[in-house]
Amino acid sequence: MAEAQLFVSQDKFTCSVCLDTLTDPVTIPCGHNFCLKCLTDCWEKSQESSCPQCRENFTKRPALRRNNLLNEVIKKLKKMTLSSPPPQNYAGPGDVECDFCTGKKFRAVKSCLTCPASYCQTHLQPHYEGDALKHHKLVDSDRNLKMKLCEKHQKSLEIFCKTDDSCICMMCVVTGHNGHKMVELETEREEKQKQLGATLSDIKRKLEEREKTLKETRRAKDKMKLMKLQFSPSSLLNLRAETTF
């Protein structure tokens, strides 16, 4: 049971940029952790320093230093995971099945965009241990893996073609997009996230302005009701009676 809990907790040490286990982890002021290289690359491509996860902006770029304590925890976690893999679970309804299990299949814990295939913990080990596979792109087990592959070449989608407004693989770059304006898929995703963040901020600002206008309208309406009560015929008669006496 303890080993199973340890394996599940490994996902908490995943970089949200490369979606892999943290390498040379750094912690920024907002509390989120990233690979040193991933965060450095993100900030070099952008004019502003912001957290890729929560989008918090930093007026002064934080100095990036490796979190040695977190780095040691990740090293020990990897060793314990490899030496003592957790108990396997058979795939149930809604689970992604391991593509390499024979007979009754185990639940896949990761999918590889490079292979492409999904793996249970046992069949995933070569991706952690072998030099030939350790650079493959691993993601959380995904039943829609085919949607992340090029339909024509069955390669992982890594490039965004701005000219055709489509996601393409490296083979597509060579065979059908010569002269097109292209960027890395991750770069385009970050740009879309920024645009979405700006749109959401604008919507929030407009909602706050409307709420303010609505409150002012309600106050004005309540004030008019009060004035009507003060100057109603019955109120005026009472006022005249009081004046007469």
Domain boundaries of the chain, sorted by first residue: 1-84, 88-148, 186-244
Q: Is the pLDDT of residue 3 over 50?
A: no
User: Which pLDDT tens digit goes with each residue over 58-67?
Assistant: 888 888 888 8
Cα torsion angle, 134, 105, 156, 7, sign: negative
| Higher local confidence (pLDDT), 239 or 150 | 150
pLDDT value, residue 6: 43
pLDDT value, residue 4: 41
Cα–Cα distances in angstroms (integers) from residue 116 to residues 12, 72, 168, 188, 209, in the given order:
24, 31, 16, 23, 49
Q: If you search the block for the tokens 């979405």, which residue do you land on?
A: 196
Average pLDDT over residues 116-132: 85
Query: Rounded to an integer, what distance in angstroms lies between the CA atom of residue 91 and that of residue 121?
Result: 12
pLDDT value, residue 207: 93
pLDDT value, residue 211: 92
CATH number of 1-84: 3.30.40.10
Q: Is the pLDDT of residue 244 over 60?
A: no
Cα torsion angle, 117, 123, 127, 128, sign: positive
Torsion angles phi and psi, residue 114, rounded to 5: -80, -40
Torsion angles phi and psi, residue 108, rounded to 5: -75, 140
pLDDT value, residue 8: 41
User: Which pLDDT tens digit goes with each residue over 142-198?
Assistant: 888 777 778 888 787 888 999 998 898 888 888 888 889 999 888 888 888 888 988
The distance from CA 101 to its chain's CA centroid, rounded to whole angstroms, is: 31
Helix axes 185-230, 36-45, angle to 10 degrees: 70
**From the CA atom positions of the chain, what is the Rg in Å?**
29
Query: Rounded to an integer, what distance in angstroms lies between the CA atom of residue 137 and that of residue 97?
Result: 18
